[in-house]
Amino acid sequence: MKRLLPAFFLLSGAVPIAAAENTEAIFRISEVEVHFEFIDSYAEAGKAVASASVEREPGVICIVPLCSKDDPTVFRIVEIYTDQNAYTAHLQTEHFRKYKRETLHMIKSLALPDFTPVNPEGLAAVFRKIPIADS
């Protein structure tokens, strides 16, 4: 029986575990509020950039767009990068620049707070528990 991950969870080997132990890793939960009429369009754009980023960029460990169940205009994006260089490179990719161009008018507010994991060893365990497709 195959258990498949969404495309934005296509993680490569030991990278998630290495990031959990890497003090240079960037952990961010972006806070985005979109205008009501753009909920679906923004969700599609977020899904596309997340998938492309994780698939094409070795320094992007995860980008997981989430939509609030209580307020569909509220999105949070869980982002983990191996280091500042990976994040800077991500901002320069064509798929990210396209996302910014296409969504700028949709966004009502945006905050980009960074976080520090309280239990980095526990983070590695989370990535090991994500179900993946059987070979």
Tell me which architecture the domain covering 24-113 has in CATH. 2-Layer Sandwich (3.30)
Domain borders along the chain are: 24-113
pLDDT at 57: 97
* pLDDT tens digits in sequence order for the chain, 135 residues long: 333 333 333 333 334 444 545 568 899 999 999 999 999 999 999 999 999 999 999 999 999 999 999 999 999 999 999 999 999 999 999 999 999 999 999 999 999 999 988 887 777 777 676 666 554
Task: Give the containing element (helix H, strand E) for 78.
Answer: strand 74-81
pLDDT for position 117: 86
**Distance from C-alpha of 121 to C-alpha of 98, rounded to nearest angstrom:** 35
pLDDT of amino acid 13: 37
**Structure-token match 């495309």, residue found:** 7
- Residue 81 to residue 93: CA distance in whole angstroms: 14
For β-strands 74-81 and 114-115, DSSP reports them as unpaired
